Amino acid sequence: MIKSAEVYEKLKKYAIFDNKITNNLINKNQTYNNLFNYRLKKSFKIFRIEKNRYTFYNDPFLISSRIIWPSYISCLSALNFYKMTAQTSNRMTIIAVKNKKPIRFSNTIIEFIKIKNNNFFGFEKIKYNNFEIFIADKEKSLIDSVLLKKVSFSEIKDILCENIKTLNVNKIIRYLKKINNSSLTKRIGFLLEGLNYDVYGKLKDNLDLTCTKLDYTKLNKGKKNNKWKLIIND
């Protein structure tokens, strides 16, 4: 029978593990397996994520994109990771294709946002603290933030202005055309044009005729921009 110390070391190779993984290592009955995990938790060697899900690592960023599959880290959580904003939050945004209730882990609320399958793209697998995590690229982090209204529009403007040279504008255009959301395209297209990027011709086919307020956090009052069909309310 494998020794407890050996089990600990093998389990540490998993970002998240459950009773099934523990049972495969211990090769005992379910009662003993549950007792083993219980003792680990009581000794503060592991942290409970949710029922039958544990980790050795008190790091929400490490475990959050592994709780449900498929999913990826995005919005403010990703923008902060890329050092594109100094704004922080005790909430992590995870993009997924199915619903899941929020989880509180290590004083952080991990929220899961369900989006359409067609919009589930623009993320990658990267190394983080010797494990692999799934996170939106810079461009999709920005787009998700506007699409889901998870970051204030004033902050979005600052992020674009301060980081535009590190962003791939052609990729942003490609993502906008693929998502094909008129309000999203108007807002980001207008901001890009304000930074001297000639994007209107590439995006105009994705715009509807309805006037949309530029800043989704403010009242729908302001001067009308006929070109982008926006109410400039910032």
Yes or no: say if 147 and 179 are a contact pair by the CB < 8 Å rule: yes
With respect to residue 204, please indicate whether it lies within any of the assigned structural domains: yes
- Quick one: pLDDT band at residue 3, thresholds 50, 70, 90? low
192 and 127 assigned to the same domain: no
For the chain, the C-alpha Rg in angstroms (whole number) is 22
pLDDT computed for residue 1 by the predictor: 46
173 and 227 assigned to the same domain: yes
With respect to residue 76, please indicate whether it lies within any of the assigned structural domains: yes
Higher pLDDT, 76 or 22: 76
With respect to residue 153, please indicate whether it lies within any of the assigned structural domains: no
Does the pTM of the predicted model rise above 0.85? yes
Quickly count: other Cβ atoms within 10 Å of residue 151's Cβ: 22
Rounded to 10 deg, the angle between the 169-179 and 182-194 helix axes is 160
178 and 132 assigned to the same domain: no
132 and 63 assigned to the same domain: yes
140 and 81 assigned to the same domain: yes
Across the chain, what does the average pLDDT equal? 93
For the stretch 97-135, pLDDT in tens is 999 999 999 999 999 999 999 999 999 999 999 999 999
130 and 173 assigned to the same domain: no
81 and 50 assigned to the same domain: no
Domains held by the chain: number: 3
Exposed, middle or buried: residue 21 (CB in 10 Å: 0-12, 13-18, 19+)? Answer: middle
For the stretch 17-62, pLDDT in tens is 988 887 787 766 667 767 776 777 676 678 999 988 999 999 999 9
Residue with tokens 């699409």: 147
- 116 is written with which tokens? 């359409």
- 174 is written with which tokens? 């490609």
65 and 126 assigned to the same domain: yes
The angle formed by the CA atoms of residues 201, 203 and 206, to the nearest 5 degrees, is 130
Domain that residue 139 falls in: 58-148
For the stretch 198-225, pLDDT in tens is 999 999 999 999 999 999 999 999 999 9
